[in-house]
Amino acid sequence: MSRSTVFWDTRCLLTRFACRKSVGQATSRRSAGDASASTFRSVIDIRELPISRRKGFAKKALSESLTHAGIEYVHLRGLGDPKEGREAARAGNLARFIRTFNRHMESERAQADLQSAVRYVAEGGACLMCYERDHTICHRTIVAQIISHRMDAIVYHLGRETWAR
């Protein structure tokens, strides 16, 4: 399936890490007509704590920048990786990280926020955002997989040429 074919599908779910580009660079792609940037209406911030030392990526500043670019900002804390999971990932204990996050995803709050995320994807595409650069060791991939199974969305990890179904 070609990239251009998928970008017209409203059930497209993209994922992106927040740490490399400035918000201005990321939103300017949308203004310039970049296909990947015009595939979604919402950025879903799935950091448990939407704070950042990187300028422009704390919740309020990010929300304002995205709104200015015509993109809805949504923070779904229930889809964030809990502290124990972040510590396991930082220590390189991937098995403990996955166990912790999967257990967290069974909680009422996570399930409610997951339903909200599914709705945002169904209503015009969404981009999941967190802080981890490598999607293969990040909770956003787990969240994206769950969403894609619930609604047959196509997942694309921005920054890498990786398609998932």
pLDDT given for residue 83 in this prediction: 96
What does each of the 165 residues of the chain score in pLDDT, given as a tens digit? 333 333 334 455 666 544 444 455 555 444 444 444 456 788 899 989 877 777 777 889 888 988 888 889 999 999 999 999 999 999 999 999 999 999 999 999 999 999 999 999 888 888 888 877 777 778 988 999 999 888 877 787 776 544 444
Helices (H), 8-71: 23-31, 59-68
Could you tell me which residues come within 8 angstroms of residue 97 by beta carbon, excluding any fewer than 6 positions away?
81, 85, 88, 89, 137, 139
pLDDT given for residue 22 in this prediction: 47
Which of 72, 74, 70 is CA-nearest to residue 44? 74
pLDDT given for residue 160 in this prediction: 52
